[in-house]
Amino acid sequence: MKKTGFQLFSLLLAFGVVASGCGNNNSSSGSSSSPSSTPADTSSSTASASASAPAKLEPYEITLVYPGDKPKDLAEVQEAMSKYLTDKINATIVLKPIDWGSWNDKTNLMFASKESFDVILTSATLGYYGNVAKGAFEPLDDLIAKYGQDITSVMGDKLDGVKVKGHIYGAPTNKELANANGFLFNKALVDKYNIDLNQIQKVEDLEPVLQKVKETDPAQLPLYEGNWRYVGGLVWNGQFDPLGDGNGVLDRDSTELKVINPAESPKYMEIAKLAHKWYKAGLINKDAATAKDWGLMQAGKAFSIEQELKPGKDAEMSSAWGFPVVQKQLDKPYMTTSTVAGVMLAISKTSKNPERAMMFLNMLYSDRELINMLVYGIEGKHFVKKSDTGIDYPAGVDAKTVGYRNEGWMFGNQMLTYLFPNEDPNKWEKFKQFNDEAQKSIALGFAWDSEPVKNEVAAVANVQSQYYEAITTGSVDPEVYIPKFVAALKEAGMDKIIAEKQRQLDEWAKQKQ
């Protein structure tokens, strides 16, 4: 995915981070949300009356589009899921993963050409609001009311956080709702160098540790930057409410609803200078601005990487990468509209059967067998059950050799996904605590409509692609390039975007009173 500039706020949102998360099919990341209590598992059932009588339904093929690499056993899992769905809702499925590097280009082409497909992953940072404005998504209110009872029971009023002009266009993943930032560390190296992570309370505290790694073991890279995980993300993703798309943000420390340009923030200059200092000192990989994978970190040849964090993120990545990592969170969780809308599944306006697509979506919130098949593959081949809620890889298989794996944070009710042995059995309860302790943005619930300034938004995106990665990774001198970045943003229309966003934010605030 060409996540540039202000689009980096969550994925994963999480994230988020995206938040929380971007990654490949052998990694787990991103930001998510948790319910006030773990919903009851309806196992292999769905609340839809139609789903209970599949014979009355005409056969239909559902196409699911999501980011990730194509695993070698995709066809086999697709066949197993199709057999299962045929029994439930008389549907088969086509899984269509698109690698992150091509995600924006390929999905934009799909929308522009009005290609027929059914369900697609989206988020506040992956064009959700823009695609809603373009009419690319089916409104879900009536569909959820008729076929999505499990979505409603699991998500409740969280669905209000993804509404645009009063309507729902995406079903959010049930995972963590807030975003926090920090680092993941290779545990073997933490132990080898006897590093006390409790001594790292702010990003500056990491510098002597990185220097120690560099001096002691030149074969190990102290800090890997890639896959859109940069030191500057500690500010860019952690210190601002992106207010939708990041084109004009709210400082999380602000007590007033004032939209600012994050590139002009002193916080951004400060973290960019620190990153540049580390880059010049050889603490960061030289290809940081262009690396689009986990690189040396996943290969076990780097000590640390910046991350959007959540409870158990280190265990997830340990399982995905095949060696233990530990995490250190450096800021308090922050909840915004973007993190609540961090990851969603939407139904395309080109779907030939949105009703059947909604039945499938509903099952992802209630059917434990289906969602784990989508995430982990086929029991006995890609995973083995250790308990009702726990799994492990089969004998002779590990994270690097398994033939199928998806990201649990992408789909439906993550609370129904199985846990690996290295994961905390209380993980989902800790997600709830994480959400409860989060600082809530004073603009929580605000939905940005970029349509009035869509030309400026497009022009700003082009500017971001020229400057953001180079500055935020520390690859260039920020005192030289941030002024150029700001000037180019203004020329592209950033001030007009900020003025329009401020107008909408003020109107939203009035309506709340």
154 and 92, same structural domain?
yes
How far apart CA 463 and CA 209 sit, in angstroms, is: 35
224 and 240, same structural domain?
no
256 domain residue, yes or no: yes
pLDDT at 198: 93
The model carries a pTM of 0.73
Q: Specify whether the CB–CB gap between 400 and 188 falls below 8 A.
A: no
406 and 506, same structural domain?
no
Encode 394-419: b = buried (16+ Cβ within 10 Å), e = exposed. Answer: eeeeebeebebbbbbbbbbbbbbbbb
236 and 359, same structural domain?
no
How far apart CA 128 and CA 133 sit, in angstroms, is: 9
Distances (CA, A) of 341 to 293, 361, 442: 24, 16, 16
Q: Where are the beta strands (DSSP E) in 273-427?
A: 302-309, 325-329, 334-335, 344-347, 384-385, 391-392
pLDDT at 24: 36
pLDDT at 340: 82
CA angle 148, 152, 157 (to 5 degrees): 145
- Domain containing 80 — which CATH number? 3.40.190.10
CA angle 136, 138, 144 (to 5 degrees): 155
**Structural domain boundaries, residue 206:** 180-230+289-331
**Which of these three, 418, 437, 470, is where a domain ends?**
418
How far apart CA 397 and CA 374 sit, in angstroms, is: 19
Q: Does residue 17 have a cis peptide bond before it, meaning omega lies within 30 degrees of 0? A: yes
Q: Specify whether the CB–CB gap between 11 and 308 falls below 8 A.
A: yes
265 and 300, same structural domain?
no
Q: Where are the beta strands (DSSP E) in 177-251?
A: 180-186, 221-224, 240-241, 250-251
pLDDT at 54: 66
Q: Within 13 A of 394's CA, how many CA atoms are on the CB side? A: 13
27 domain residue, yes or no: no
316 and 253, same structural domain?
no
**Which of these three, 401, 418, 435, is where a domain ends?**
418
How far apart CA 166 and CA 152 sit, in angstroms, is: 16
Query: How many domains, in total, are found in the chain?
Result: 3
pLDDT at 435: 84
125 and 57, same structural domain?
yes
279 and 142, same structural domain?
no
pLDDT at 156: 85
Q: Specify whether the CB–CB gap between 33 and 340 falls below 8 A.
A: yes
Alpha helices (H) in 281-335, listed in sequence order: 295-298, 313-321
25 domain residue, yes or no: no
SS3 at position 249: strand
Count of CB atoms within 10 A of residue 488's CB? 18
33 domain residue, yes or no: no
How far apart CA 244 and CA 454 sit, in angstroms, is: 13
489 and 473, same structural domain?
yes
Q: Specify whether the CB–CB gap between 168 and 406 falls below 8 A.
A: no
Pairing mode of beta strands 384-385, 391-392: antiparallel
Count of CB atoms within 10 A of residue 80's CB? 17
pLDDT at 40: 42
**Which of these three, 400, 418, 436, is where a domain ends?**
418
Residues of the chain with pLDDT below 50 are: 1-40, 42-52
pLDDT at 494: 98
Return the H-helix or E-strand segment holding 20: strand 17-20
393 domain residue, yes or no: yes
Count of CB atoms within 10 A of residue 113's CB? 9
How far apart CA 251 and CA 412 sit, in angstroms, is: 31
How far apart CA 177 and CA 479 sit, in angstroms, is: 35
91 domain residue, yes or no: yes
**Residues sharing a CB contact under 8 Å with residue 488, sequence separation 6 or more, in sequence order:** 463, 466, 467
pLDDT at 157: 79
The maximal CA–CA distance of the chain, rounded, in angstroms, is 69
193 domain residue, yes or no: yes
75 and 54, same structural domain?
yes
8 domain residue, yes or no: no
310 and 262, same structural domain?
no
pLDDT at 33: 33
Q: Specify whether the CB–CB gap between 311 and 434 falls below 8 A.
A: yes
223 and 200, same structural domain?
yes
pLDDT at 19: 36
How far apart CA 155 and CA 255 sit, in angstroms, is: 29
How far apart CA 390 and CA 26 sit, in angstroms, is: 18
